[in-house]
Amino acid sequence: MPSAIARQLRVAVIGTGPAGLSSAIALSELSDIDLRVYEKAGELKNLGAGISVNHNGWKVLELLGIRDRVNGASTNPTVQRNAYTGEIVDPGVPHDPNNAYEARRVKRLVLQEALAAKVPEDVIEFNKKLVGLEDLGKDGVRVSFEDGTETIVDLVVGADGIRSVVRRHMVPDYALDYAYQVGWRCLIPAERLKHIPDLPLTTTSWWYGRAKSVWLSPLDADVSNLTDIEFTARVFNEPPIPGKTVSWGIPVTNEDVFSRFRDCDPRLVEVFKQVPEGNWTEFAAYAGPVPDSLVAWDKLVLIGDSSHPSAGGFGSGSAFAMEDSWTLARSIEYARLITAPDAIQSTVAEALRIFNAIRRPYYQAMADFRKSQKEVLKEVGRKEYVDFDSDLRKRFARDGLGAKRGKGFLAFVYDHDIGKTWKEFVECDQARRKGINGYAQADA
């Protein structure tokens, strides 16, 4: 077994979203690493309102050592309603206080602060926009920034989101598709909604209309002391507007959003009226294929949204990003054990091979599932309803709007335990290396 390595492994992480911050945590815990994180913005961005943390999210937060710093409101029960009449079409399943891994809705800022607090001081450099990468062969990768500076590293971690510059260097002709879906998100102080009769704020509610939906959710673990309510409105047949439709968080006016929801239940209309002007941000959804490989040059790796642009699909992108980060750190650690200590290049190459073998099939399975659902969603977007309410009730009775239809698959996504997946990989790889059934194999 190797005992020491010749020099530090030089790593540049690009981006400070959930992927960049979590990789900074996981990688900084490895020995002999020279880690820098580069972000094009001048500070950490606080975009969006809430995020769902499911079983998969809690598991990886535990592995990153920040589970205790993250909490939110249980999403059970999620009450499903007709957006026009407000009538309940499905009451949801009860909250289970004994389930430590129950899905919760968490303030995005809470997750970001928990991640940021565990990143070592001084590793992040702001106002550093990546513009170029050059493969220097055995010498590493030249990383160039818009401000004219550059650095040379052994590994570049592309945590630079859905419009990744790192991905563009790996797959120059990669194209994103607009998914004809737009979401608007904001937080409303709970005090502004308490006067609305029969509008429960302590549980999540989802209101469905024709090709649109609205979501209201508490975000506080202690729902007896509510601060903000998350409000999300979505449409599923929004044509693109050249020059306007962008992927992330542009400010829009109250009227922009409300104009599409005037015909809703009066309680919802009142909620729209209570949004403080300037609170809404718009999120147009884009998707693209999973690249043939998540790694390139034996020196580049894509993690988080850069590796699987999925139109916000599965509402679990932060968890996927954190799983990637943790897996990448484990892959480097493991590769160091099975490659020569002074061969940084082959260590990185082996680590990336392992990472790709574990994570790419996972994302491909999600992409395949999304594809299988595309026609169903298109139908929901275009459908002419004769009796909307009975149609909605039938849909819930039949498949719970997809939850029952995709039950096995969605469990594969939301109930995933990356620690278990990693353990299985190591057991399998070690068995292969030792030789199974008496057939000895080369040791590495």
Ligand X SMILES: Cc1cc2nc3c(=O)[nH]c(=O)nc-3n(C[C@H](O)[C@H](O)[C@H](O)COP(=O)(O)OP(=O)(O)OC[C@H]3O[C@@H](n4cnc5c(N)ncnc54)[C@H](O)[C@@H]3O)c2cc1C
Binding site for ligand X (CB under 6 A): 14-20, 38-41, 45, 51-52, 129-130, 159-161, 165, 183, 283, 304-305, 312, 315-319, 321
Of 25 and 338, nearer to ligand X (C-beta) is 25
Q: Are 288 and 174 in contact, with CB atoms under 8 Å apart? A: yes
Phi, psi angles (nearest 5°) of residue 413: -85, -60
- Distance between CA atoms of residues 185 and 215, nearest Å: 9
Q: Are 335 and 347 in contact, with CB atoms under 8 Å apart? A: yes
Of 209 and 304, nearer to ligand X (C-beta) is 304
- Distance between CA atoms of residues 149 and 80, nearest Å: 53
Of 51 and 335, nearer to ligand X (C-beta) is 51
Residue 248 CB, shortest distance to ligand X, in Å, is 7
Residue 152 CB, shortest distance to ligand X, in Å, is 17
Cβ atoms < 10 Å from Cβ of 146: 12
Tokens of 8: 């530090």
Q: Are 139 and 152 in contact, with CB atoms under 8 Å apart? A: yes
Residue 384 CB, shortest distance to ligand X, in Å, is 27
Of 272 and 320, nearer to ligand X (C-beta) is 320
Residue 267 CB, shortest distance to ligand X, in Å, is 23
Of 81 and 169, nearer to ligand X (C-beta) is 169
Beta bridge partners of 410: none
Of 163 and 267, nearer to ligand X (C-beta) is 163
Residue 441 CB, shortest distance to ligand X, in Å, is 37
Residue 172 CB, shortest distance to ligand X, in Å, is 15
Phi, psi angles (nearest 5°) of residue 137: 65, -130
Phi, psi angles (nearest 5°) of residue 252: -135, 165
- Distance between CA atoms of residues 396 and 156, nearest Å: 45
Of 25 and 319, nearer to ligand X (C-beta) is 319
Of 45 and 395, nearer to ligand X (C-beta) is 45
Residue 110 CB, shortest distance to ligand X, in Å, is 12
- The residue sitting closest to ligand X, measured at its beta carbon, is 317
Cβ atoms < 10 Å from Cβ of 169: 19
- Distance between CA atoms of residues 279 and 231, nearest Å: 10
Of 129 and 395, nearer to ligand X (C-beta) is 129
Residue 371 CB, shortest distance to ligand X, in Å, is 19
Short-list 358, 350, 356, CA closest to 334:
350
* Burial bucket for residue 230 (CB in 10 Å: 0-12, 13-18, 19+): buried
Residue 268 CB, shortest distance to ligand X, in Å, is 19
Beta bridge partners of 155: 11
- Distance between CA atoms of residues 40 and 14, nearest Å: 9
DSSP 48: S
